[in-house]
Chain A
């Protein structure tokens, strides 16, 4: 019986540890900051590009925020309060991006996009 008790306690202690650890991580990383860059086809940063943040629900796509890139082509969103996002960007004369899916592991997870968003000349803004 002691052996069983041991196994049970060990299992539940492990689960508790994982849950607590995960929640600690979440609390420290849930400012909902989403950072990225917009570049043109040549890879040069695009300033003043229009970036739209959309929410991806189970059935639809709904815009929730928009912003413009700065001189280095950077953009930042904050406190978007979502976990499944789609980014679109565009600028007159440069072109538009495709839909970029951003899936987060929890709501408001901070994320820096590793790949810049590329605007293609073939797509009209």
Chain B
């Protein structure tokens, strides 16, 4: 490799990093700023930092409800995805009549974006009597086709001799799944958890359609409702915005490598 000057790269990357970070900073600054947020020119650093926008936001909205709804739905979605996708992925590693058709069906379903189904999906959920419930929120996201294929691929990569050996050792067939296959398919499990978490945690359109009660709203829906009521007139909006972003950001920073791997493997298969 040739030697080349490094500073232009650093300069460019620092500039890009600024562009990426300043929006976060700006909203955070607004949320802790003591002055009127509509004073021009805006100050670049917070004036008399204080947490009262957060206090206002906390009492203006049932934040614990929003948070718990988001958590409940995310947990349901993650659990269902693990069970259903691992099962389906495992089934697809076997040979059986009609397998070709099932795979084709899955691939065809992949071509139907969820957004292209919202009207009848709403009607289906309404017929099931699940409007305005946690299960109704979670049900359409119970299985992601990409994750089924991720599971299939990692099950396929496990040498059959290993399973044979386990069978000879007398491990019951249904235990093979939990004792041998899932531990060996850990990257697929991680990707599955991450992808279903992100999709359920950030989902907005579906809750917007089927949720009626304030107590049933998830975080993104609560945030948009708050925006609809108060427009941009109060710093509490930005405090709420920070409160909504914080959990996701925390999870991302804690499991950054898994996030990046999960998202890229999801994209590569999609």
Contacts and interface: CB of A to CB of B under 8 A. Distances in A.
Contacts of B56: 58, 83-84
Contacts, number: 27
Contact of B255 (A4, A58, A106): A4
Given A4-B255, A11-B250, A58-B236, A107 B59 contact: yes
Interface string B28-62: 00000000000000000000001110011001100
Contacts of B52: 84, 103
Contact of B50 (A4, A11, A103): A103
Contacts of B230: 58
Interface size class of A (residues with CB under 8 A): 10 to 19
B223 to A, nearest CB: 16
Contacts of A105: 51, 55
Nearest to B255: A4
A8 interface: yes
Interface residues of B, number: 14
B50 A83 contact: no
B55 A58 contact: no
B236 A106 contact: no
Interface string B226-242: 00001001101000000
B119 interface: no
Contacts of A8: 254-255
Contacts of A123: none
A7 B236 CA distance: 31
A104 interface: yes
Contacts of A103: 50, 52, 55
Interface of A: 4, 7-8, 11, 58, 83-84, 103-107
